[in-house]
Amino acid sequence: MIGYVTVGTNDMERGAKFYDAIAAELGVARMMEWDGAIAWGAPGGGAGIGLTKPFDGNAATVGNGVMVALEAKDKDQVDRLHAIALANGGTCEGPPGPRGDTFYAAYFRDPDGNKLNAFLMG
């Protein structure tokens, strides 16, 4: 149902470095790029993610309660995505581990403070 999500940035170069590393681990790359925005994913694949400077010209801010969830292929990839996020300017919002009986996840923020997680269900 979701085609893509977009998060805002105040520093495109810093944000692009973060998302290039996350996308590489997920097996995708930049699929579109233009002045002020980059999108990662695979045409015809699952939902992609975009990074943009806000269209209205105001500073990008974090949406309270908003989170982008990245589906991982296994627990090791959840762990790697969390480590990659922290190594590329992200901050920890919850280390990798089980959340209940069938959900394994790690939570982190990108350099602009946007909240993401990597997860495995089942």
Can you list the domains of the chain with their CATH numbers?
Answer: 4-54+66-121 (3.10.180.10)
Confidence of residue 22 (pLDDT cuts 50, 70, 90): very high
Q: What is the pTM of this model?
A: 0.92
pLDDT of amino acid 28: 97
CA atoms within 13 A of residue 36's CA, in its CB half-sphere: 8
Instruction: For residues 28-34, give the mean pLDDT.
Output: 96
Two tokens, residue 5? 């999500």
- How far apart CA 83 and CA 27 sit, in angstroms, is 16
Two tokens, residue 76? 């090791």
- How far apart CA 18 and CA 24 sit, in angstroms, is 10
pLDDT of amino acid 67: 96
pLDDT in tens, 84-106: 999 999 999 999 999 999 999 99
Q: Buried (b) or exposed (e) across 63-84, using 16+ Cβ within 10 A?
A: eeeeeebbebeebebbbbbbeb
pLDDT of amino acid 2: 86
pLDDT of amino acid 64: 87
Quickly tell me which residue has 């995708």 as its tokens. Answer: 28
Q: Is the pLDDT of residue 1 over 80?
A: no
Q: Is the pLDDT of residue 50 over 80?
A: yes
pLDDT in tens, 3-17: 899 999 999 999 999
The values of phi and psi at residue 3, to 5°, are -85, -45
- How far apart CA 112 and CA 7 sit, in angstroms, is 9
8 A C-beta contact, residue 5 and residue 40: no
- How far apart CA 95 and CA 78 sit, in angstroms, is 10
